[in-house]
Amino acid sequence: MSILNYLTYGFSIALEPINLLSCFIGVFIGTLIGVLPGIGPVGAMSLLLPITFGMSPVSGIIMLAGIFYGSMYGGSTTSILVNIPGEAASVITCLDGYQMALKGRAGPALGIAAFGSFIAGTIGVIGLMLIANPLAEIALKFGPAEYFSLMFLGISILIYLTQGSILRGFTMAGLGIFLSLIGQDLNSGKPRFTFGLQGLIDGVGLVPMVMGLFGISEVLLNLVSPEERIILKTKITQILPNLDDWKRSAKPIARGTLIGFFLGILPGGGSIISSFVSYAIEKKFSKNPEEFGKGAIEGVAGPESANNAASSSGFIPLFSLGIPTNVITALLLGALMIHGLRPGPLLITKNPEVFWGTVASMYIGNVMLLVLNLPLIGIWVKVLKIPYRVLFPIILLLCLIGVYSLGNNVFDIYVMLFFGIVGYILRKKNYEPAPLVLAFILSPLLEQSLYQAMLLSNGDPTTFITRPISCGALIIAVLIILSGFIPWFKKKNNTKLIKNL
Amino acid sequence: MKEGVIWILIGCGICFLSWRIDIGSFREPGPGFVAFIAGIIILITGFLISLEKAFKKSFIEDNKLSETKIFNERWFQLIYTMGLLVIYSLMVQQLGYILTTFIIMFGLFYNLGKNKLFPSILASFICVTITYILFELWLKVQLPRGILPWW
């Protein structure tokens, strides 16, 4: 079957009424949580994960994927109108988007963000479609040693890119590895690290943990340090960018798409990094770099395109290798497993409906987002006016019900509250929970690959360095770790990045 | 310094627990092998964080700038909200979803909504009704009945 045939097959699945509805709900909620500060895409996805249990795997994944790329669209609205990013990938859009709004150009800023996101998102999906399948075929030749090394590389890159100290990133990864091992040992069947608690026999639940770390802790942080939201009282009349705006934005959109696409594939990369890199590059390429930070449309077009392209390409390693590149795709990996699917190279051949259905739904979802974001901008502005005193109790209630409905088990609520407090303390002390979650998800696979590699090589540890791909991945991982430990190198880098921005 | 010591203790604890359930060797890893490595990672990083804090003041200052106190002047909001959530988790099975959720939501709305009685009662009632219809009736989630079995 050619790609076109597969795509037609994908559309036949994505256009089924239930999948269309799932896609719409996904992108709608994604835009909503992108607009609303206080809950990010990770929190929203974990919140809605239990709801997908009653759906078919395709509908569930379509909805969760929609939340992910939908939030990238919605995040720009708050950045431009309130100067508060709705989600982390839109932080950089605040710099020029808000300045444009102050100058009475909120409409074109929102417009170019939506169009740039649409173009980049669509190109990203085309790339996903073209690359994921061949990569999965190559990945079929990978053995446990390669998987072990690739996952180790993924965790290393994420630790390196963690904000703040690399030591803290390592600590978080170590903690994530330990937490993932709580529960029954796969080989012996004996419980380990359960401390006699029955609720821990099945291990620490991914969803209660993520909801605690990202949902509850976010609300607690906002409760103790509330951000003031001053929404511009400007009338958004002209949303369509003019010819000059298009001329100035065309190249940033193209560059942002490329940057986002390639950084999104890399483990640990993703939408946040790509938006920052895109901004730095646009500033460098610009003939008028002094305009950046004062309302340059390029500073909105590039990063917004980059974060959307990255959200599409992040699916490539997930679908073809079964390796998540960031917390959001890690959560999707968890969702695939909960739905009884085995992520990895065989997913595309064994469950083509999931892969091609999701890919096709992303085309449809991007069109839906364009419709949702431009004509309905007024509604999103109204959503922004919902006060925290109304929003936070609702978020907390949804977290409580969402976690309880996982298995009608109060123990899951305890776990969520525990991680809510842990997440609050960690974030107050500058520890990023992302490496913890990624390590938590990858560790069982990492452990399994290690055991299998040892079994296949008759206990010969050199198997990791005698196989070229495995050796290459390990060398890169070690170099990344070592480079992160050179403080002067890091300091110099940070200074450079800040200067560039 | 304290921060590093806490991580060292956690790392030691994980290593001890892993050792108790059999680490094995690299050639033949036991059930505690990977956890032992995780413990070692935490132990080493805890040690390095302690060293960093103790000796490299200039390097630390960068991190300290954005580090904030766990409790600030709004500490009461934090304790109050977490307290309500803990009470919720302890009472929901006994009192049931409707009653517990109403009480807790009222507590949250009343506190955050500048102590307005009637709007808080109304908002709590709306939240309970909508979530009950959505989750119990539509999504068929079996919410705890508690002392109100007919609901």
DSSP sequence for B35-102: HHHHHHHHHHHHHHHHHHHHH-HHHHHHHHHH---SS-TTHHHHHHHHHHHHHHHHHHHHH-HHHHHH
In-domain check, residue B149 = no
3-class DSSP state for residue B25? Answer: coil
Of B38, B66, B94, the last residue of a domain is B66
B141 and A404 within 8 Å at the Cβ level: the answer is yes
Q: Which of A49, A59, A178, A418 is best to mutate for the B interface (most B CBs within 10 A)?
A: A178
Per the DSSP assignment, residues forming a β-bridge with A60 are none
Residues B52 and B101 reside in one and the same domain:
no
In-domain check, residue B99 = yes
Contact A63, A52 (CB under 8 A): yes
pLDDT at position A501, please?
44
3-class DSSP state for residue A184? Answer: strand
For residue B78, count other CB atoms closer than 10 A to its CB.
18
In-domain check, residue B144 = no
Low-confidence ranges of chain A (pLDDT < 50): 488, 492, 495-501
Residue B57 distance to chain A (closest CA, Å): 12
Question: Could you say which DSSP state residue A242 is in?
Answer: -
The CA distance from A318 to A341, in Å, is 12
pLDDT at position B58, please?
44
Residues B83 and B132 reside in one and the same domain:
yes
In-domain check, residue B51 = yes
Chain A residue with Cα closest to B3: A429
CA A313, A315, A319, A325 torsion-angle sign: positive
Nearest one of A33, A51, A50 to A42, comparing CA atoms: A33
Query: CB-hemisphere CA count at 13 Å for A406?
Result: 26
pLDDT at position A269, please?
60
The CA distance from B151 to B137, in Å, is 11
Residues B134 and B103 reside in one and the same domain:
yes
In-domain check, residue B17 = yes
In-domain check, residue B147 = no
pLDDT at position B1, please?
63
Residues B90 and B45 reside in one and the same domain:
no
Per-residue b or e along B95-132, where b marks 16 or more CB atoms closer than 10 Å to that residue's CB: bbbbbbbbbbbbbbbbbbbeeeeeebeebbeebbeebb
Residue A183 contacts by C-beta under 8 Å, 6 or more apart in sequence? A191, A192, A193, A194, A200, A201, A202, A203, A204
What number of residues does chain A have?
501
Contact A213, A427 (CB under 8 A): no
pLDDT at position A237, please?
64
One-letter amino acid at A167 equals L
The CA distance from B19 to A193, in Å, is 11
B32 and A178 within 8 Å at the Cβ level: the answer is no
A424 and B78 within 8 Å at the Cβ level: the answer is yes
Residues B79 and B118 reside in one and the same domain:
yes
In-domain check, residue B143 = no
Tracing tokens 């960093």 back to the chain, one arrives at B52
Nearest one of B85, B26, B34, B44 to A415, comparing CA atoms: B85
Chain B residue with Cα closest to A447: B34
Residues B52 and B16 reside in one and the same domain:
yes
pLDDT at position B9, please?
94
B74 and A408 within 8 Å at the Cβ level: the answer is no
Of B18, B34, B66, the last residue of a domain is B66
Residues B8 and B59 reside in one and the same domain:
yes
Of B45, B66, B87, the last residue of a domain is B66
Chain B residue with Cα closest to A221: B78
pLDDT mean for each 10 residues of chain B (151 residues): 87 93 82 91 89 62 54 81 92 89 91 79 91 81 76 56
Query: Maximum distance among all alpha carbons in chain A?
Result: 71
One-letter amino acid at A16 equals E
The DSSP H or E segment spanning A267 is none
pLDDT at position B101, please?
92
Please state the pTM of the whole predicted model.
0.78
pLDDT at position A47, please?
74
For residue B64, count other CB atoms closer than 10 A to its CB.
11
Nearest one of A283, A355, A327, A282 to A135, comparing CA atoms: A355
Instruction: Provide the residue range defining the domain that includes B131.
Output: 75-138
Per-residue b or e along B3-12, where b marks 16 or more CB atoms closer than 10 Å to that residue's CB: bbeebbebbe
Instruction: Choose among A216, A393, A429: nearest Cβ to B109.
Output: A393
pLDDT at position A486, please?
67
Per-residue b or e along A269-292, where b marks 16 or more CB atoms closer than 10 Å to that residue's CB: bbbbbbbbbbbbbbbeebeeeebb
Chain A residues 266-325 with CB within 8 Å of chain B: none
The count of domains in chain B is 2
Residue A140 distance to chain B (closest CA, Å): 25
Residues B54 and B19 reside in one and the same domain:
yes
- Assess A482–B contact: CB distance below 8 Å, yes or no: no
For residue A56, count other CB atoms closer than 10 A to its CB.
18
For residue B58, count other CB atoms closer than 10 A to its CB.
8
A430 and B38 within 8 Å at the Cβ level: the answer is no
The CA distance from A127 to A321, in Å, is 16
A420 and B85 within 8 Å at the Cβ level: the answer is yes
What is the distance in angstroms between the CA of the first residue and the CA of the last residue of chain B? 54
Using only C-alpha atoms, chain A has a radius of gyration, in whole angstroms, of 22
Residues B10 and B47 reside in one and the same domain:
yes
For residue A492, count other CB atoms closer than 10 A to its CB.
11
Instruction: Choose among B74, B81, B131: nearest Cβ to A401.
Output: B131
Helices A298-313 and A243-265 meet at what angle, rounded to 10?
A: 30
- Assess A166–B contact: CB distance below 8 Å, yes or no: no
Instruction: Tell me the chain A residues in contact with residue B71 when contact means C-beta distances shorter than 8 Å.
Output: 224
One-letter amino acid at A307 equals N
A223 and B29 within 8 Å at the Cβ level: the answer is no
Encoded tokens for A1: 């079957």
In-domain check, residue B145 = no
